[in-house]
Chain A
Amino acid sequence: GAGVSQSPRYKVAKRGQDVALRCDPISGHVSLFWYQQALGQGPEFLTYFQNEAQLDKSGLPSDRFFAERPEGSVSTLKIQRTQQEDSAVYLCASSLPPTGVNSPLHFGNGTRLTVT
């Protein structure tokens, strides 16, 4: 399809497990963003990539969160030693222009992570 694709759609992890969430942006989109959306809240910024470079990771809540985009297309958000407060929907978004040029973001359906 032509949209942003995220997998898995749902993930249940036991506390302490590591998880990896995948985002496949729209082909050719330079900018990629990860957001965390807690229940009943708006999305909160986590991190931003321009191609393979992670230009802003100020929103990552702890050093247990790690994101990468090694070839400038697919991105993975990894959460180590998951905790219950990590339960949320993780949204990926992409846009064509690089930073400095504001444009609408195209969002995926998200991955709903539940930590038990």
Chain B
Amino acid sequence: AQKVTQAQTEISVVEKEDVTLDCVYETRDTTYYLFWYKQPPSGELVFLIRRNSFDEQNEISGRYSWNFQKSTSSFNFTITASQVVDSAVYFCALSGYNNNDMRFGAGTRLTVKP
């Protein structure tokens, strides 16, 4: 069975602070994919990143960075110098080779205050 745990329900930071959103996953598959999506108040889930299980290289995209550690089954997401526009619910997701078994975590609501 596949499972995604986002232990942080809500996080509140002040603008310009760095913040890390945690994601821990469980799977028996050897090939799997990990995702992060952002859900702003408008409701649409916005794709941020996809990593496959064979690529443990960390990735940086502007103020966003992702730390994939297979040894601890974690795929954490860090926002550097947070901005008010980063306020949203962030979901970590896991899927196998096929999209139709994608599992989402419960989400972390991030509030960035000015």
Chain A residues at the B interface, C-beta cutoff of 8 Å: 3, 31, 33, 40-45, 48, 55-56, 89, 91, 93, 95, 99-100, 102-110, 112
Separation of A93 and B4 alpha carbons in the complex (Å): 20
Chain B residues at the A interface, C-beta cutoff of 8 Å: 4, 33, 35, 37, 42-47, 50, 52, 91, 93, 95-107
Asked whether A106 and B107 contact (CB < 8 A) given A42-B91, A55-B100, A100-B97, the answer is no
List 10 A-B pairs, minimum CB-CB distance, nearest first. A42-B104, A107-B45, A48-B100, A104-B47, A109-B43, A110-B43, A109-B44, A56-B100, A99-B98, A43-B104
Contact present for A107 and B44 (CB under 8 Å): yes
5 sampled A-B residue pairs with Cβ under 8 A: A42-B91, A42-B106, A45-B103, A100-B98, A102-B33
**Separation in Å of the A77 CB from the closest CB of chain B?**
16
Chain A residues with CB under 8 Å of B45's CB are 43, 91, 93, 105, 107
Contact present for A45 and B102 (CB under 8 Å): yes
